[in-house]
Structure formats: structure tokens, C-alpha cells
Amino acid sequence: MSLKLSASDQSMLAGKHGPAPQMALEILVRMAEVYSANELLDISGAHIDSTIYIGDAGLEYAERLAGLGARVAVPTTLNVSGLDEMRWQEWDVNRDWALAAQRQMAAYQSMGAIPTWTCAPYQTRWQPRFGQQIAWGESNAIVYANSVIGARTERYPDLLDICCAITGRAPAAGLHLAENRAGQLLLKLVEIPETLQQADDFYPVLGHLVGGIARDRIPVLDGIKATPTSDQHKAFGAAAASSGTVALYHMVGVTPEAPTLKSAFQGKEPEGTFEITIGDLRAARLELTSAQGELLDMVALGCPHFSIEEFMKLAALVAGKHAHPQVLFHITTNRLQFEKADRAGLIEPLRNFGARFTTDTCILATPMLNPEIKNLMTNSGKYAYYSPGMLKAEVSYGSLADCVRSAITGRVVLDDSIWDG
Ligand code: F3S
């Protein structure tokens, strides 16, 4: 399939827009072949995941683009970086890492991108609109933009996302095209109590289960009786994009491209049908816990980044209480949500409880934790999925209330009643 280029693409490739757009478009043209695209399309927004410092290659790439005078052509937000610029010295981050991560942050900022430093850009004022063509990196952000908002992005890997932002172009392929957004698998929720469907801790578990079934296909969930909140969608999508590589899901009667079952499948037949029972959910919930006992060193919240609504819920749970001195109670968020929470008077009471905060990054994106942290508890399906491998820590999964109760007692305590009922 040969790639049709517009007159503007051709002049960019010829270097008439400068060396950075030329280099970015050369990369995009090569990648368009990988995506089997026969043309490029205009995008009107981007979210860059290449911001996380993982070594010299990514830093060199960012500085090379910046050195060529690269500027983003569309409004562009930045994902988490490899450093909490304001607090890294309070943690185990070594100085060489910090300086390199900071240089990478500076390179992307110099291109005119908005320094949001968050994996939840959809909870900022820069969230995209329904039908908007965008190029986003970061799996949880991609699945949220496609599914909950109905914006259109492929799964953009690091390094390619910034090429789209600089050129304002993306391969016309995959989830950018309406016909590729039809559901592929039907997942029917069978007699799942509505009370459970309303609980926050239901969504990471459901997401973990759905990701494992769907893998890279588009699941359609039928039988959702609740109206999930933004944070519940966030938790669901992040988990589904961890155990699988789900980039788009439909919930019948809930998400914008699925007002009916028929529209979710665009009138096509599902490739497969699965039933999800309470037993499947209980098993998936157990899978999110690798720890054998009740030992607890750390509670990790804010994956994806904590929202103001989550701060409010947490502040109500910890009021007048104190975390056990041996438990690190930690929240990852972005500067915008942190400042909102501070202005709302929520940070001081959380500090009094014993909470510590990280902005701009997270425990999986920067080497901040003492390796002696071996037993971690979280309410996040994504943290639960990745922490055993990436942090070499055992994980217990629980609700936000379980996490608070456990932090106070200093050992893992779970309330199973909502899952048993
Ligand atoms: Fe965000 Fe880090 Fe989780 S980047 S999605 S808080 S693993």
C-alpha cells in the first residue's frame, strides 16, 4: 500500500518547515507503513508519554529534537516525568538520575508543550472532545480518551507521540477510523449486584478481568446498571490496559459510542461472547493480591493520578486518625490536582494523618522507593499488576477504606462483605 502525502506533508519532508518537522515526519512516514495507513490525517491534540526518563536514548532523542528547534503544532499535554521536581531529594532518587530526568523534562517543555506531568490529562481542562482526532501516549489515557470521551487515538508508543505533535499529523489507521471502533467481544455481566457495581473497588477488579479476556480486542460490556464516575472509568481502563492492551471499550448505555448493543458493534456480530459472574470477579480480585500475609510497609494510592474527588473521599476517611508510624502512606497526583486539594483545605489534614505526596511522576516511573519496602497495599489495579515485577514488592489489593484501615492498624485488613453478599 503506498502512502499518499498531502502537499503540506511533501513540503515538510523537503525541509521547508524546518529540520525538526522534517525529521518527525520522516519517522511518521516510516511508521505509517507499519500501521498500513494509506494517508496521514490532521490531529488537533497530543499527549506525550516519551517524557519518562528511562535512559540516555530517550534523553538524547528529546534533546536532539529540541536542539533542532522543535515546536508542537497542536495543544500538547505531557505525561508523568521521571522525577518529582519539588520533592525528589526527600526520597531515594540519585542525583545523576534526577539531573538527567530534569533535562528530559526541560527538552519537552522547550517544544511548547503544556507541563501537566500527568497520566490523567483527561481530568484536566485540556481534555479532548467527542470525535476529536488526537495522538495520545500512556495506556490508561488512551483507553479513557477513546472509550469515555469518544475522542480518537491509536496506541501511540513513546517517541512516535512527539512526532505527531510536532507535525500535527498521524497515520490514518486503527482507532482513528470509525469502522475500526466497532466492538469485537461481548462480555455480559450476569447477576452482578448493583451495590457492588456502585463501589469504587469493583472497577479495577472488573478491568483486570476484562483486560485478561479481551487482550488487544475491543470489549463491549453489557449489564452495567450503575453510572460509573470519571474515577471509576479511570480505574477500570487502567486495569484493563494493564492485564490486556485494551485501548477502547464500550459499556452499553454508558459510553458515548454504545447507546445500544447494536451500535456498540456497528451492527456486526461479536467474535466471541463471555459471561462475567460474581465468581469470576472474586477470582480476579484475588489475582490482584500477591502477598501471603498481613505485613504492610506502604500504602500506595493515586494510580492513575489522584483526582480532587479522590482527595475529598480520602480526607473524609482519615479525619481525626493517624497512620501507623511504620507504614508509608503515599499518594501520587499532579500539580494541578494537588493545588486544588490544597486550596480546598484537604492537604493539611492528610499530612496530619501521615500522608506523603508525590507530584509529576509515580512510584513506577522514578526510582524513589527504599528497596526495603516489600509489602505494599493499593486500591489501584494498575499498581497491583505492575508492582510485583517492577518494585519486587508483594501487593495486597483493597478498597480505599481498606487501605486507610490497614494503614492505621499497620497490617493488611480487608472488608470482604461487598464481595460476599
Ligand atoms: Fe500513572 Fe504511574 Fe499509574 S504513570 S497510571 S501513576 S503507573
pLDDT in tens, 348-396: 999 999 999 999 999 999 999 999 999 999 999 999 999 999 999 999 9
Pocket flag, ligand 1, residue 81 (CB < 6 Å):
no
pLDDT tens-digit series, residues 232-241 = 999 999 999 9
What does CATH list as the number for 298-413?
3.30.499.10
- Which residue's alpha carbon is nearest to atom 4 within ligand 1? 119
Give the CA distances from residue 125 to residues 139, 235, 345, in Å, rounded to whole numbers and listed in that order.
Answer: 20, 19, 21
Enumerate the CATH 3.30.499.10 domain ranges in the chain, comma separated: 298-413
Distance 25 CA to ligand 1 centre (A): 29
Residue pLDDT, tens place only, 292-339 = 999 999 999 999 999 999 999 999 999 999 999 999 999 999 999 999
pLDDT of residue 119: 98
Which amino acid is present at 298?
Answer: M
Q: Is the CB of 303 under 6 A from ligand 1?
A: yes
Give tens-digit pLDDT for 124-171. 999 999 999 999 999 999 999 999 999 999 999 999 999 999 999 999
Mention the CATH class of domain 7-178.
Answer: alpha beta
For ligand 1, atom 5, name the residue with the nearest CA.
304
Q: Separation of 235 CA from ligand 1 center, angstroms? A: 11
What proportion of the chain, given as a percentage, has pLDDT over 70?
100
Number of the ligand 1 atom closest to the C-alpha atom of 362? 2
What average pLDDT does the chain have? Answer: 97
Residue with cell string 478498597: 399
User: Which ligand 1 atom is at minimum distance from the Cα of 363?
Assistant: 2
Question: Residues 333, 306: contact at Cβ < 8 Å?
Answer: yes
Query: What pLDDT was estimated at residue 2?
Result: 85
Question: Which of 303, 331, 360, 385 to mutate to test ligand 1, by most ligand atoms within 8 A of the CB atom?
Answer: 303
| pLDDT tens, position by position, 106-137 | 999 999 999 999 999 999 999 999 999 999 99
Instruction: Tell me if 382 CB under 6 Å of ligand 1.
Output: yes
What's the predicted TM-score (pTM) here? 0.98
User: Which tens digits make up the pLDDT trace of 5-63?
Assistant: 999 999 999 999 999 999 999 999 999 999 999 999 999 999 999 999 999 999 999 99
User: Rounded to an integer, what distance in angstroms lies between the CA atom of residue 243 and that of residue 125?
Assistant: 29
